[in-house]
Amino acid sequence: MRRLFVAVCLLLTVGVAHAAAPATIETDHVTARFLVRNATTAPGDSTDIAIVHTIAPDWHTYWLNPGDSGEPPIFDFTLEHGGKAGEVRFPAPSRLPYPPLMNYGYEDAFTLLTGVTVPADWPAGSPYPVTVRADWLVCADICIPEGGSATFEIPTAAATSTDSGVAFTFMQAEWALPAESDAAATYSRDDGHIHLTVPIAASAQDTVFFAYDREAIDHVAEQEVTEASDGDGLFITLSAGRGRLDGTLRGVLKTADGAFSITATGDADPEPPTAAAATGPAADGASPSGPGRPAAAPAPALAVVAPDAGGSGGGGGIGLAQAIAFAFIGGLILNLMPCVFPVLALKALSLVSHAGEPLPRRAALAGAYTAGVVAAFMVLTGTLLGLKAAGVSVGWGFQLQSPAFVAAMALLTFAVGLNLSGLFEVGAGLTRFGGRGGDGGIGGSFATGALATVVATPCTAPFMAVAIGAALATSPLIALAVFAALGVGLAAPFVLIALIPGLARILPKPGVWMVRLKQALAFPLYATAAWLVWVLAQIVGVDALLAVLAGAVLLAMAGWLYGLSQRGTGRSHRIASGLAVASLAASLAAIWPAANGTPVSVAPASAAGPAAPFTPDRLAALTAAGRPVLVNATAAWCITCKVNERVVFDTAEFDRMLKAHDVTYLVADWTRRDPDVTRLIERFGRAGVPLYLMFDKRGEATILPQILSFSTLKSAFEKSEI
């Protein structure tokens, strides 16, 4: 009896071991196992296939609509003798915020279901071979394409039978699938919103709608969900995307009570009028079409006309030498822009303190400053190129669309201001700006150059836009060369002053006035910090203000305690140092909610006057109707943009000119990431804002200078009427 029992156990063990070793694709971050539902499948019948995914901690993959970025997984089956694979069915996804993006996908284990039909002429009793190639994108802080191939067999027999060993796995996978709903859901549209009504009895709490069409809704925007008064339905307000609805809106409604696949009916969006088929750069705005993904509305055919002299230039066709020259000139002009004034004033103070030192010492400081500028430009360029290669639409100043970056920069500039005010002293660290002697001067010069580059990104100088736009449209090596030239141009004035004795002699002699000037320079940095806090509020909402201001208070306390520790000794030094570290940690913790906030929809950067929000469809309709249009591509964090708005756009004279020439004014807000605005900027060979476009009655566009005046606008308006 004991031998019989052991034999049975061994047989069961072998059976379990066999079932526990399915075909598997294993990569660094994802493991996909393929399970067959049937123990045997008769020729001509189908069997379900489960693809069980296990994901490494802190990584995620994507749903069939990945949201703002990413790509859905792809499965390519190779089947003999005319076998057929069914569609892949996905469980309901989760929202994966990645500010300023919102993606849809899975962070934990999940299972996809599909099916395979064995050919009717396949001999019963012979295993049917299946080969599948799987590719997916797995992401954390970076995205990595992974995948592989697997081969398995479907046992066949004269009759189909089920495999009880995998039945529970398939049951769980089916429970996770959205249930097909026959509820008579409807939708309506008005003023950029979609109002969805779903007669399903479910709680509004934690309810999210996921559209199958990637372009149907704005993924980042919050969804407002309320319950019907009788508790027998849900009302959901969505922000519309850039896609056109054909009379149906399909998707998954995920609630606390389960997930439902719904189809809502409503009025089809009208076809946008077009002047002509888009060609060349104008076609860049189109999105790829595919199953369940309508193509984007076609853009009008546009001819780009070069701007007036001194403007930002037409980018098409410029050579490498011209792009590098434009970048160098743009870097020189950046020294005059308000973005970098506080940091450059610190560098000027440093030059005064070192004016009497030997030439080799001044050359070392100038070289360190230039290295800091160029290194920061290389980091920004590499990041920008990497994001573009990953399919993310970004451009010059892209980091200022990140709440985390803006919050960090606000605290950094505030901390530097506290340092200049004398609250504490920084030794040989990277934030020592303009210190005398020792390695601190070299490190301080390098750090000043890096900070000058970072704070320069809200500004775009004339000539600079053409160079950057041309660089990003070519190879990475050319882009790096152009950005390096931009950095050399930014550093050039200080290098010349440091190296040429005659120029160094015109600098005033060091004295007590330097201490007072250093303290005075703290206030432009405080103003910069305040402006960055305002920018953050534009991106993630006013609730961010409390978090960042609390962080600033704690940072000031940390600086004060650090200053006390520098002046104390023994126990008092240790206590003050420990409290300073604790206050700094508390400051970073305080800004965490704001730094990781989800970007919200913001009003146009120039809300006053007759401005209307830019959309590709609105521009296409206006140009097709023969209306002259002025498009202002702007952002709340763009200093040049804000100056032009204050001097030109937010004036009664501008309103009068619009009415006199019957010009429609559209504002394309790029404060937070907006793919439509990014495509508009890239279409005209630019990489950032400001960008001013004047469309005449024929739909031809002229790029206006980045520094605007009423005379420039008047001339453009008059030409648009011809």
What residue type is 286 in one-letter code? A
Lowest-pLDDT choice from 277-286, 427-436, 582-591, 679-688: 277-286
- Please tell me whether the peptide bond between 462 and the residue prior to it is cis, using omega within 30 degrees of 0: no
Confidence band of 490 (pLDDT split at 50, 70, 90): confident
Cα torsion at 419, 423, 427, 432 (round to 10°)?
Answer: 10
**Contacts of residue 463, Cβ cutoff 8 Å, sequence gap at least 6:** 312, 313, 326, 327, 329, 330, 333
Of 22-26, 171-175, 435-439, 499-503, the range with the lowest mean pLDDT is: 435-439
Q: Which pLDDT belongs to residue 213?
A: 92
Instruction: Determine the pLDDT at residue 438.
Output: 37
Q: Which two tokens stand for residue 431?
A: 């934030």
Q: What pLDDT is recorded for position 351?
A: 62
> What is the three-class DSSP state of 720?
helix
Give the tens place of pLDDT for each residue, 548-567: 888 889 988 988 888 888 77
Q: Where is 632: in which H helix or E strand? A: strand 629-634
> Scanning the structure block, which residue is given the tokens 């959901």?
236
Identity (one letter) of the amino acid at 698? R
Report the DSSP beta bridge partners of residue 208: 254
Looking at the predicted structure, is the pLDDT value of residue 233 above 70?
yes
Encoded amino acid at 82, one letter: G
| Mean pLDDT taken over the chain | 77
Q: What is d(CA 295, CA 286) in angstroms, rounded to the nearest whole number? A: 7
pLDDT in tens, 321-370: 777 887 788 778 777 665 565 566 666 666 666 666 777 887 888 888 88
Res. 445: pLDDT tops 50: yes
**Beta-sheet strands, E only, within 155-216:** 161-162, 179-180, 186-190, 193-198, 208-211
In 3D space, the residue among 710, 685, 704 whose CA is nearest the CA of residue 631 turns out to be: 704
* SS3 per residue for 293-320: ECCCCCCCCCCEECCCCCCCCCCCCCCH
Q: What is the mean pLDDT of residues 227-251?
A: 89
Tokens of 520: 């005075």
Domains of the chain: 22-176 (2.60.40.1250), 180-265 (2.60.40.10), 612-720 (3.40.30.10)
Short-list 665, 703, 666, 705, CA closest to 685: 703
DSSP state of 356: T
Q: Where does residue 717 fall: left (phi above 0), alpha (psi -120 to 50 degrees), or beta otherwise? A: alpha
Decide: residue 27, CB within 10 A, 0-12 exposed, 13-18 middle, 19+ buried. middle
16-20, 31-35, 149-153, 704-708: which range is least confident on average? Answer: 16-20
What dihedral do alpha carbons 685, 688, 689, 693 form, nearest 10°? Answer: 10
Q: How confident is the model at residue 185 (pLDDT cuts 50, 70, 90)?
A: very high
The answer to whether residue 459 scores a pLDDT higher than 70 is no
The letter for the amino acid at 219 is H
Which has the higher per-residue pLDDT, 221 or 330? 221
For 164, which DSSP code? T
Cα 709 to Cα 520, 650, 719: the distances in Å are 33, 13, 16
pLDDT at position 383 is 74
How does strand 629-634 pair with strand 664-669?
Answer: parallel
With cut-offs at 50, 70 and 90, classify the pLDDT of residue 677: confident
pLDDT of residue 18 exceeding 80: no
Confidence of residue 201 (pLDDT cuts 50, 70, 90): confident
Dihedral pair phi/psi, residue 499, rounded to 5°: -95, -25
User: In the chain, what percentage of residues exceed pLDDT 70?
Assistant: 73
Which one is predicted more confidently, 378 or 420? 378
Chain centre to alpha carbon of residue 619:
24
